[in-house]
Amino acid sequence: MATSLRAAALASELTNLLHRHVSSTDETEMNELDARVREVLEAAAASLADLKSANDPSAQAEALRLGAEVRKLKSQVAEIQRLSREKYEFGRRPAGA
């Protein structure tokens, strides 16, 4: 139960960070948000590691399923960050360039 609550909190924080990243027009802020996103993803991985080490076979099975979801999520987050950076760079170009 605690792991589920932690996962929900991390998902909510990640969503907020990505929203701020996409909305940002400041490179320094985007860099700070990138660092925080990495921390959140690392916390998710640590929670999964705790779940995998549980003595409960159902928890271990859930950890394997969630592990696949987290890998997929990491890929999606990286794509959002990449597109956000492209948007930022496009907005910095002089008109007509």
d(CA 32, CA 77): 15
Residue 86 lies in a domain: yes
Name the domain count of the chain.
1
Does residue 96 fall inside a structural domain?
no
Separation between Cα atoms, residue 55 and residue 26, nearest integer Å: 46
What is d(CA 9, CA 34) in angstroms, rounded to the nearest whole number? 18
User: What pLDDT sits at residue 3?
Assistant: 67
> What local confidence, expressed as pLDDT, does residue 96 receive?
66
Sites in the chain below the pLDDT cut of 70: 1-4, 95-97
Domain that holds residue 77: 2-91
> Quick one: pLDDT at residue 1?
52
**How much is the pTM?**
0.81
- pLDDT for 92 equals 79
What pLDDT sits at residue 46?
Answer: 87
Residue 97 located in a structural domain: no
